[in-house]
Amino acid sequence: MPDPAAIDQAADRLAQARRPLILVGGGAVGTRKPLTEIAERIGAPVLATNAGKGILPDSHPLSLGCSVLQEASKQALADADVVLLVGSEVAAGDHFVAKLEISGDIIRIDIDPTELTSMYAAAVPIQSDARAALLALSSALASRKPTAQRSEGESRVREILGHNAAKLTPVEKLHARAWKILRSALPADAIVMGDATQIVYTGSFAMPMETERCWFYSGSYCALGFALPMAIGAKIGAPHRAVIAVAGDGGVMFTINELATAAEERLALPVIVWNNDALMAIADGMDERQIPRIGVEPRSPDFVRLAESLGCHAVRAASAEQLAQSLRDALVADRPTLIEVRQDSPWLRG
């Protein structure tokens, strides 16, 4: 159980905060009710890591989603006078910098005591299960008058998300368009297994999630080929849930042989292959550093014929409508379906 004195100290600081912000990770899974109560009580925007995506629904007016990759969200974290950090090591795989700037006081809740004194050391450390601590903190805040108001927090969220949207790169806009189409064809509790690929990095903030434990990607280890075998495992473990894999043309080749396994198991498993004819994240890094591209533009196979040869259905999406319908069909098919989406498709530009 959390230390009552630490809970009282945390409640005092949060109630007095003018620009509070909450950052939640995978350790906060199962805390939606007390998390929502606290955020609404103190008017705090809620930022999630990839593992925390969906704990607070992305549609909630205080949700910044998993947008910690985006500059306006990073700046909001830096500008916050009090940060409630719950159940996260704040790994670099979520934000792609050595260390996030946090200038305000950190109230940190973690079951692992070593995290409380790690890179993001806590002014108010609370060693506890996240749910127990947030329930106690919500109760303590109920008797305190907060300085910040919910309407102020919601206004901050709209402003931050607006800045983030305005700063999307042309390629991120293509990714966002694809995610919008995929989201329209998926049930709310669909499980998405994402590979180490640019479309998944964008999906962290562009793919809305209303439910926790639905968004997974390889994160800090950046394991190419992660998505397909993980999706197979998820589908076998949760056969009545919609499960999809999303991978790039380079990454999927690390484990594409597992399509044969999925076909043998007759899994209704859509596999989205985003094809930009490169290991583009690495290629872009080489370009930025003026290094000649080496080994990052492998020759892609004919993904449709390859998938069919492994016993799967396959299609190359030629329109937004075909992508959506192919995904719907794949969710109820008698075997896996590989759906190739080429980044240079004109229809992706809307």
Instruction: List the CATH number of the domain containing 193.
Output: 3.40.50.970
131 and 264 fall within a common domain: no
What domain range is 125 assigned to? Answer: 4-164
- Identity of residue 204: S
pLDDT of residue 223: 85
Give the bridge partners for 316, in sequence order.
Answer: 340
Single residue among 118, 149, 164 that ends a domain in this structure: 164
145 and 178 fall within a common domain: no
pLDDT of residue 95: 62
93-97 CB contacts, 8 Å cutoff, 24+ apart: 93/50, 93/218, 93/219, 93/220, 93/221, 93/222, 94/49, 94/50, 94/66, 94/68, 94/69, 94/204, 94/219, 95/68, 95/69, 96/69
85 and 156 fall within a common domain: yes
142 and 270 fall within a common domain: no
Single residue among 164, 183, 203 that ends a domain in this structure: 164
Instruction: Decide if 318 contacts 251 (C-beta within 8 A).
Output: no
39 and 142 fall within a common domain: yes
Among the listed residues 280, 283, 262, 281, the one whose alpha carbon sits nearest the alpha carbon of residue 333: 262
pLDDT tens digits for range 280-318: 888 889 998 999 999 988 889 999 999 999 999 999 999
Cα(85)–Cα(48) distance, integer angstroms: 10
Among the listed residues 94, 78, 74, 84, the one whose alpha carbon sits nearest the alpha carbon of residue 42: 84
pLDDT of residue 135: 98
Give the CATH number, domain containing residue 158.
3.40.50.1220
pLDDT of residue 96: 64
239 and 122 fall within a common domain: no
255 and 139 fall within a common domain: no
Count of the separate structural domains present in the chain: 2
pLDDT of residue 145: 96
pLDDT of residue 94: 66
The ranges of the chain with pLDDT < 50 are: none
173 and 248 fall within a common domain: yes
145 and 174 fall within a common domain: no
Among the listed residues 162, 194, 180, the one whose alpha carbon sits nearest the alpha carbon of residue 70: 162
pLDDT of residue 98: 64
83 and 101 fall within a common domain: yes
> Beta-carbon neighbour count of residue 150 at 10 Å?
16
133 and 229 fall within a common domain: no
pLDDT of residue 180: 98
Single residue among 164, 181, 204 that ends a domain in this structure: 164
Q: What is the pTM of this model?
A: 0.93
For 107, the token pair is 């109230």
233 and 294 fall within a common domain: yes
Sheet holding 313-316, edge to edge: 215-217, 191-194, 243-248, 270-275, 337-342, 313-316
